A and B are shown apart, each in its own frame.
Chain A
Amino acid sequence: MARDEKFKQEVLRLAGTEVRTCIQCGTCSASCPTASLMDPSIRRLIKLCLEGKREEALHNETLWLCTSCLLCTVRCPRGIRPKAVVSALKDIAERAGLQSKDASYEQFFLKQIKDFGRIAELSLTAEFLLVFPQGAVQSMQMGLELLPRGKIDLKIEKINGRDEVKRIVEELGKK
């Protein structure tokens, strides 16, 4: 496949130009708690970005298996932030309007911040499960633990500075 230089530059802009210095040592993959489930590995994902392989870099489960634990980031001997590469790819995927179960969750999350300023866990979960009911059993089990202890809040809190928050999400999101 053709090398997408524009895509590569966008990743470098968002995640840092030091990504270019990757020596493919694999410390990131070796540190990752979900590495065994990833294909491509996080090491390979970075290579795909540097080779400008946009499609392969954007369409995979790896992005959504990242737990943001940042172990890769504190261990990288080149000072690269592999988690920031994952975030950059998610951001690029979101802007390109790519749809997936995992991308939807992030979109619902950001929409709540934009609309209310805070997260209402119950309505976020409900909204997500309406679109992707596969997770309903786990969520129900969790709900049964939380509900009797008063830890599921039915009301949605809205902050006063919603316009400001909306501006943060929309205007800074374009940059």
Chain B
Amino acid sequence: MKLAYYPGCVSHSTGKEMDASTRAVCAALGIKLVELEDWNCCGATHVSNELVATGLAARNMAQTDLEIMTSCSICYSNLRAAAQRLEESETLEKVNAVLDRKYSGSKIRHALDVILEALAEDDERIAVPLKGLLVAPYYGCLLTRPTGLYSAEFPSILEKLIKRLKAEPVEFRLKTFCCGGPIFMPQEKAAEDIAFKILSEAKKAGAQVIVTVCPLCHLMLDAKQKVLEQKHGEPIGIPVLYVTQLAGIALGLGPEELGLDMNCVSPMAMVERVRAKETMLEQKS
């Protein structure tokens, strides 16, 4: 399978491990990624003018005829919402008037959905089944909203993938609750309070790892975790992995390929545990 790949701005900074693990997992699954030519920022959640946001997305989508895959839920949501608005001829006309390459339709996919599709039930490429690993499926907002392929509030695709990797999804009440990320720059306190609520809830649910599909969720739950623990006097200590990292571990890919050393809360002890378990089972059989 060949897909156009839209890495998004954070893939070159705070989300480097998202980018690395996306490329590694797709290579392992035989999915060829062609990076979108000269891609631009999607506007994230900070472009208030809807037509401008649509134009920014349209320029990206017009660069290829292939289906476009991204690992970032914000980019995913923006591109999908724009594609929907561009179905109106008036919007399409206004946008195409300023574009060099004209937009004429596009299909947007999230890496999560691409990976799930590529993995068969009991896929033999799963070298390290994540048996017994308790995973909190954290969707955040934008994978499912405003118009996703999944239920806006009760999605289950992440649980499906977690099970396919042989891990166990925990019942996670706040799985589609916002992480507060989009306002953390000007409204730090409000954002941090929300993020802590999610971490605390994941801990109560018994999660050994939280899995995310968005770099901003990841930043809030991983990079801020230590500060939030100190502030609230409550230890959390739960590694936060991108869904591509979790899939990569199960596929037996190495920590460097998956950028596991870039996670702020180290997942290495957890990775060693699941690997040791697998080796033990292999020796037994």
Contact = CB atoms under 8 A, between A and B. Distances in A.
A121 B16 CA distance: 13
Interface in A119-170: 119-122, 125, 128, 132, 135, 138, 141-142, 145-146, 149-153, 157, 159-161, 164-165, 167-169
A71 interface: yes
A118 B9 contact: yes
A4 interface: no
A159 to B, nearest CB: 5
A159 B178 contact: no
A146 B239 CA distance: 15
B41 A33 contact: no
Contacts of B98: 164, 167-168, 171-172
A90 interface: yes
B99 A37 contact: no
B221 to A, nearest CB: 12
A124 B182 CA distance: 14
Contacts of B192: 138
B51 A113 contact: no
A25 to B, nearest CB: 18
A89 B224 CA distance: 30
Nearest to B95: A172
B182 A153 contact: no
Contact of B39 (A132, A149, A159): A159
Interface in A93-138: 94, 101-102, 105-106, 109-110, 112-113, 117-122, 125, 128, 132, 135, 138
B59 interface: yes
Interface stretch (B183-191, B202-210, B270-278): B183-191
Contacts of B39: 118, 159
Contact of A70 (B9, B146, B185, B186): B146
Given A87-B48, A105-B186, A74 B146 contact: yes
A175 interface: yes
A169 B57 CA distance: 12
A69 B141 contact: yes
B223 interface: yes
Nearest to B55: A168
B177 A33 contact: yes
A145 B222 CA distance: 9
27 contacts: A33-B177, A66-B183, A67-B178, A70-B141, A71-B141, A71-B145, A105-B186, A109-B44, A113-B40, A113-B47, A117-B40, A119-B9, A120-B13, A121-B10, A122-B13, A142-B223, A142-B227, A152-B13, A159-B39, A161-B100, A165-B56, A168-B52, A168-B98, A169-B52, A169-B55, A172-B98, A175-B51
Given A69-B145, A169-B56, A172-B52, 13 more contacts: A65-B190, A67-B191, A68-B182, A105-B46, A117-B38, A121-B13, A138-B184, A138-B188, A151-B262, A160-B38, A165-B40, A168-B52, A168-B55
